């Protein structure tokens, strides 16, 4: 065994080594040689401040008591860092752009730079971290007691434990004050402290690995042998409820802790010098956690099977080497555990001291002082430094006090989970700050306060149960006998694990109130601006425009304020750089919004966003244009822009409407012209037969002496002209009905060859009269089209009769052929007559358009036949076209779609000998 004095001396010597490392780390940083200190490796090792004495000692104790439950402590951070681009990258980017100094500064800055929220978060962080600091003090004192020879002699007295813990707290306070409060700029990296933390990360990892290798391969006989021995002893590493609600609760808490613990936020966000370091930490830190946990279960199982009953599982890392006589390995393990505890204490107290000074002390100073110090600002600077130093001592004293009052608690893991659950109350507001644009400061304050109150009632208060009979009575019967308010059975929810019970109620009510209050409250203008800057941090790079000053504010006023906080040298460099960027002398710099925003961000790095905002509002005199006024101006400008856009859109619509009206007017003009032409044509067509009828009727009335043959001829002419007039009127009415769609129309499957044969039969007398031939070309049998048989025959009759009437060739003929192309039935009717003039071809299907023939021959007609035929074929879903003929004649093509079922049954009918001769008289 080692003496207690020797162990304490080794611990003191180790702290001195940390002093040396921190000193030279700071010196290299001041000399501009901080390259290695800003490397991804050092950054990743410093993040291992997460691994405190809880993970070094308490993880083994947790594994011995609860089996695989200890893995959740490592899995939560692993999930967060493996998915670093989701939350961590956004936190680091916001921290750099907004010069965030702490988790309280993050939330207050996002929610309108609220001082109340910053104070609330700071108080919760201090109270929530207190049990964790007590855990480190307990681990140090317990490890000294175990490793020292005094344990054999009966152990250190209770008074000695308290004295030792007080001495450790005082030593840690001294180290932290010397190297954690050297600069007033809280955003400036503490390179010396980070170097010491990285060194401690290596020491505690090597120490735990050394103990694990010794236990597994030195005395345990390997992993398999250890697990077999545990099974034989009836020890199981997991039970039915291992992966139950408690597993999930601890997993959530550990993931939240790596984001919300003040020390983790300090190292991961504030101390980050390069955003790309997260890429390395994304795989290196989970690897570090794996190495820290790989031997945890074997050490726990070997200790349970070899050490006497009643041995403290939390101290297996020390007692196993001591039990085998490996004193120096035990001493190395003690140094590793001591490193785990001291690194946590150092970083946690630095982070908490910054929060206390920036969000509690500084606002009080601003509210109670009108001058904010005198001279060059040394008074303000000294105030900040002294407040941080006092805060460090005060926080450590609170941790010592908690250790003193709860000294009877045996499990380190239980104490650590209390702190984890406390700081987890920041998580809902943090997630909302990063991703919910409409979250309000009232929602964040009430949600965080509610979650903290539930945590304090259901978890923090019960931790004092062993020290106070009054608290024990409350836990058993509830306050004033109200059983529904019992801390571990809140609202009658009994039978649940106390940790799960507290985590469920605190986070559930926290999140619910955040959502509900944010929905029913509105944001201030500054909240909306900050929400946009946070949520859209990867898309927006504009400065934080929190204040716009005009009037009597001068550069000297701003320089004087900045000098008090930042110091003369740094303030001069800031204003000189601003002037250089604009190419003007420093004295000619205008106190514009950009300068105000930059100055506020620099001050925020020292005193926090909320305090910097209040300071500038108090100090800068003159007429202040508030952000509300600026946003109102912006809103009015936006309204003007939107109104202009609407006018432009309306003008474009009016132009389009005018164009449409002009087009419609042109169409109406054409229709009116067509109407006049139509009436003119109708009058002409009607007048011709009426003139004949009138003339011959007058002859018959006036000349009674006409012979019988003359009377018969004149009467026959009157009758023919009457029929002609009747046909004309029928055609006009028929065409009008077709165009307007007034006539019922039913297309039915028919064989078009029947309509063709009927047309040939009707036109055969006319062929004989003109002594013409009808040549039948290629035909198709057994086809079906959807049409009206009478109407289709009417079209073919009209086309054949026109081809016959207007053909004046010496050897006239008409050729008719049919074919199937694709899904269409096509009929060509062609003649060798004079054809149709090119100028008339585009009008050939218009009403009363007969088309002028190339020859001198002209036949009487209404000019409605082709127009009617065109409408009929259109009603049959087909087409009627004028195409080039073979020679000088005209050729019309009728195209009708086949009935789908018949399209696959195309059969060609062989032409008969008569067809081949093509002679039809």
Tell me if 606 sits within 8 A of 383, measured CB to CB: no
Torsion of CA 356, 361, 366, 367, to 10 degrees: 110
Residue 830's φ and ψ, nearest 5 degrees, are -130, 145
pLDDT value for 889: 84
The pLDDT, as a whole number, for residue 391 is 87
Is the pLDDT score of 833 beyond 60? Answer: yes
C-alpha to C-alpha distances, 786 to 415, 783, 789, 878, 880, nearest whole angstrom? 90, 10, 9, 10, 15
- What average pLDDT does the structure give for the chain? 78
- Which of 753, 791, 762, 759 has the alpha carbon at shortest distance from 873? 791
List b or e across 1-40, with b for residues whose CB sees 16 or more CB atoms inside 10 angstroms: bbebeebeebbeebbeebbebbeebbebbeeeebeebbbb
DSSP 358-397: IIIIHHHHHHH-SS--STTTHHHHHHHHHHHHHHHHHHHH
Q: What is the pLDDT of residue 738?
A: 65
- Output the pLDDT for position 460: 84
Beta-bridge mates of residue 893 = 828, 881
pLDDT digits (tens, 9 = 90+) for 590-627: 666 666 666 766 666 556 665 666 566 655 544 444 44
For 57-107, write each residue's pLDDT tens digit. Answer: 888 988 888 888 889 999 999 999 998 888 999 999 998 888 888 899 899
The lowest-confidence range among 21-35, 97-111, 140-154, 603-617 is 603-617
Contacts for 133 with CB less than 8 Å, ≥ 6 apart: 344, 345, 348, 349, 395, 396, 398, 399, 400, 402, 403
pLDDT value of residue 626:
47
The pLDDT value given to residue 826:
94
Query: Model confidence over 573-586: pLDDT tens digits?
Result: 777 777 777 666 66
Strand partners, 786: 749
- 3-state SS assignment for residue 879: strand
Q: Which of 335, 415, 403, 413 is nearest to 161 (CA)?
A: 403
pLDDT at 135: 82
Give pLDDT, residue 861. Answer: 54
Mean pLDDT of 416-437: 91
Q: Which of 36-45, 736-745, 869-878 has the lowest mean pLDDT?
A: 736-745
Question: What is the structure's pLDDT at 554?
Answer: 60
H or E element in which residue 820 lies: strand 813-821
The SS3 call for residue 884 is strand
Q: What is the mean pLDDT of residues 378-391?
A: 77
- Which residue bears the tokens 């900050």? 530
pLDDT at 920: 35
Task: Measure the CA angle with vertex 155, ends 152 and 160; round to 5°.
Answer: 150
**Cα–Cα separations (whole angstroms), residue 312 to 142, 151, 409, 552:** 10, 13, 12, 70
The residue among 192, 613, 123, 127 whose CA lies nearest residue 355 is 123
CA distances from 659 to 576, 651, 667 (A): 62, 12, 12
Distances (CA, A) of 393 to 101, 221, 289, 387: 20, 47, 31, 10
The predicted pLDDT at position 408 comes to: 55
pLDDT of 266 reads 86
pLDDT at 227 over 70: yes
Q: Is the pLDDT of residue 828 over 90?
A: yes
Q: How confident is the model at residue 217 (pLDDT cuts 50, 70, 90)?
A: very high
CA 524 to chain CA centroid, nearest Å = 24
Residue 238: pLDDT band by 50, 70, 90 thresholds?
A: low
> How much is the pLDDT for 636?
47
- Lowest-confidence range among 148-152, 452-456, 566-570, 680-684? 148-152
Between residues 759 and 363, which one has the greater pLDDT? 759
Model confidence at 152: pLDDT above 50: no
Three-state DSSP state, 854: coil
pLDDT mean over 191-214:
89
Q: What is the pLDDT of residue 623?
A: 44
Q: How far apart are CA 605 and CA 609, in angstroms?
A: 8
Q: Is the pLDDT of residue 505 over 80?
A: yes
pLDDT over 90 for what percent of the chain? 21
Summarize pLDDT for 387-417 with one digit per residue, the tens. 888 888 888 888 888 888 776 555 555 777 8
What is the model's pLDDT at position 731? 64
Q: Hey, what are 770's tokens?
A: 């003109």
> Is 911's pLDDT higher than 60?
no
Helix (H, G, I), strand (E, B) or coil at 143: helix
**Helix, strand and coil in the chain, % to nearest 5:** 70, 5, 25
- Mean pLDDT over 549-574 rounds to 62
- Length of the chain as a residue count: 921
Q: Do residues 180 and 190 lie in contact, with contact meaning Cβ atoms separated by under 8 Å?
A: yes
Give mean pLDDT, residues 172-190: 64
Q: What is the pLDDT of residue 908?
A: 43
Q: Between vectors from CA 302 to CA 299 and to CA 304, what angle results, nearest 5°?
A: 105
- The whole-angstrom distance between residue 702's C-alpha and the CA centroid of its chain comes to 101
Identify any residues that bridge with 879 across adjacent strands, giving them in sequence order: 895
Q: What is the reported pLDDT for 917?
A: 37
Most confidently modeled range among 13-17, 190-194, 394-398: 394-398
For the chain, percent of residues with pLDDT exceeding 70: 74
Q: Which of 140-154, 245-259, 333-347, 697-711 has the highest mean pLDDT?
A: 245-259
Query: How far apart (Å, rounded) are the C-alpha atoms in residues 668 and 678?
Result: 15
Backbone angle region of 341, left / alpha / beta, with phi > 0 → left and psi within -120 to 50 → alpha = alpha
Is pLDDT of 252 > 90?
A: yes
Closest to 273 (Cα-Cα) out of 34, 85, 90, 86 = 34
Can you give the pLDDT at residue 859?
A: 47
444-475 residue pLDDT tens: 999 999 999 999 999 888 877 766 777 888 87
Question: 819 or 662: whose pLDDT is higher?
Answer: 819
Task: Look at residue 536 and tell me whether its pLDDT is greater than 50.
Answer: yes
> pLDDT at residue 426 above 90?
yes
Average pLDDT over residues 343-349: 85
Q: Which of 85, 57, 408, 105 shows the shortest CA–CA distance to 266? A: 105
């Amino acid at each position: 065994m080692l003496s207690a004095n020797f162990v304490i001396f080794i611990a003191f010597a180790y702290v001195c080594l940390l002093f040396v490392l921190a000193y030279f780390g700071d010196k290299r940083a001041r000399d501009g040689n901080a390259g290695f200190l800003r490397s991804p490796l050092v950054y990743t090792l410093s993040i291992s401040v997460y691994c405190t004495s809880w993970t070094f000692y308490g993880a083994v104790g947790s594994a011995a008591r609860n089996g695989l439950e200890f893995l959740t402590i490592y899995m939560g951070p692993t999930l967060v860092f493996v998915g670093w681009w989701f939350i961590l990258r956004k936190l680091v980017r916001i921290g750099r752009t907004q010069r965030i100094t702490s988790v309280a500064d993050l939330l207050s800055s996002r929610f309108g730079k609220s001082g109340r929220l910053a104070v609330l978060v700071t108080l919760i962080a201090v109270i929530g971290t207190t049990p964790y600091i007590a855990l480190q003090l307990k681990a140090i004192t317990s490890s000294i007691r175990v490793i020292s020879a005094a344990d054999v002699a009966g152990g250190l007295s209770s008074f000695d434990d308290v004295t030792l813990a007080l001495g450790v707290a005082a030593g840690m306070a001294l180290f932290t004050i010397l190297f954690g409060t050297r600069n007033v700029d809280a955003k400036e990296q503490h390179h010396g402290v980070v170097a010491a933390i990285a060194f401690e990360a290596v020491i505690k990892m090597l120490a735990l690995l050394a103990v694990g290798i010794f236990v597994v391969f030195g005395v345990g006989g390997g992993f398999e042998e250890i697990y077999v021995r545990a099974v034989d002893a009836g020890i199981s590493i997991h039970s039915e409820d291992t992966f139950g609600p408690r597993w999930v609760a601890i997993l959530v808490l550990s993931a939240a802790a790596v984001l919300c613990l003040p020390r983790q936020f300090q190292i991961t966000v504030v101390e980050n010098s390069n955003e790309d370091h997260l890429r390395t930490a994304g795989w290196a830190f989970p690897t570090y956690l794996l190495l820290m946990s790989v031997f945890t279960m074997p050490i726990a199982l070997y200790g349970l099977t070899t050490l006497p009953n009643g041995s403290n599982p939390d101290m297996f890392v020390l007692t196993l080497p001591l039990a085998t006589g490996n004193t120096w390995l035990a001493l190395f393990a003690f140094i590793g555990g001591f490193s785990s505890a001291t690194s946590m204490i150092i970083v946690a107290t630095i982070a908490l001291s910054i929060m206390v000074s920036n969000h509690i002390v500084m606002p009080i100073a601003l509210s109670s002082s009108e001058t904010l110090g005198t001279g060059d600002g040394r008074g303000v600077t000294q105030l900040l430094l002294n407040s941080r130093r006092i805060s460090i001592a005060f926080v450590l004293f609170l941790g010592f006090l908690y250790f003193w009052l709860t000294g009877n608690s045996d499990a380190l893991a239980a104490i650590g989970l209390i702190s984890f659950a406390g700081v987890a109350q920041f998580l809902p507001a943090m997630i909302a700050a990063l991703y919910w644009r409409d979250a309000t400061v009232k929602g964040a304050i009430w949600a965080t306060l509610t979650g903290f109150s539930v945590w304090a009632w259901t978890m923090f208060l019960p931790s004092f149960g062993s020290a106070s009979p009054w608290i024990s009575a409350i836990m058993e019967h509830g306050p004033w006998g109200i059983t529904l308010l019992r801390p571990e059975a809140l609202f009658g929810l009994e039978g649940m694990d106390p940790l799960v019970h507290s985590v469920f109620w605190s986070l559930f009510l926290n999140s619910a109130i955040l959502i509900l209050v944010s929905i029913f409250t509105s944001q201030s203008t500054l909240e909306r601006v900050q929400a946009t800057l946070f949520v859209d941090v990867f898309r927006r790079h504009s400065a934080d425009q929190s204040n716009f000053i005009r009037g009597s504010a001068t550069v000297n006023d701003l320089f004087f304020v900045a000098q008090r906080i930042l110091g003369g040298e740094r303030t001069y460099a800031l204003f000189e750089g601003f002037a250089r960027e604009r190419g003007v002398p420093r004295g000619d710099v205008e106190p514009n919004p950009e300068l105000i925003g930059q100055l506020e961000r620099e001050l925020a790095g020292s005193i926090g966003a909320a305090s910097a905002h209040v300071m500038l509002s108090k100090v800068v005199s003159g007429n202040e244009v508030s952000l509300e006024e600026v946003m109102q101006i912006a809103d009015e400008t936006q309204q003007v822009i939107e109104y202009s856009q609407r006018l432009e859109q309306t003008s474009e619509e009016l132009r389009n409407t005018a164009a449409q009206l002009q087009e419609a007017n042109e169409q109406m003009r054409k229709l009116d012209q067509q109407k006049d032409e139509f009436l003119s044509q109708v009058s002409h067509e009607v007048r011709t037969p009426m003139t004949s009828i009138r003339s011959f009727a007058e002859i018959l009335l006036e000349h009674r002496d006409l012979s019988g043959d003359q009377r018969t001829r004149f009467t026959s002419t009157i009758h023919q002209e009457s029929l002609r007039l009747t046909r004309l009127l029928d055609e006009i009415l028929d065409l009008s009905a077709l165009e307007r769609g007034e006539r019922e129309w039913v297309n039915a499957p028919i064989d078009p060859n029947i309509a063709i044969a009927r047309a040939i039969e009707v036109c055969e007398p006319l062929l004989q009269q003109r002594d013409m031939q009808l040549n039948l070309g290629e035909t198709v049998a057994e086809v079906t089209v959807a049409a009206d048989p009478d109407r289709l025959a009417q079209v073919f009759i009209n086309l054949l009769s026109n081809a016959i009437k207007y053909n004046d060739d010496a050897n006239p003929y008409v050729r008719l052929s049919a074919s199937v192309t694709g899904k269409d039935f096509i009929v060509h009717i062609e003649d060798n007559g004079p054809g149709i003039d090119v100028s008339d071809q585009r009008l050939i299907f218009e009403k009363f358009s007969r088309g002028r023939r190339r020859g001198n021959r002209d036949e009487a007609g209404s000019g409605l036949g082709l127009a009617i035929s065109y409408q009929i074929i259109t009603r049959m879903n087909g087409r009627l076209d004028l195409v080039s003929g073979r020679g000088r004649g005209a050729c019309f093509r009728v195209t009708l779609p086949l009935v789908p079922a018949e399209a696959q049954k195309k059969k060609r009918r062989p032409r008969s000998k008569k067809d081949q001769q093509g002679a039809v008289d």
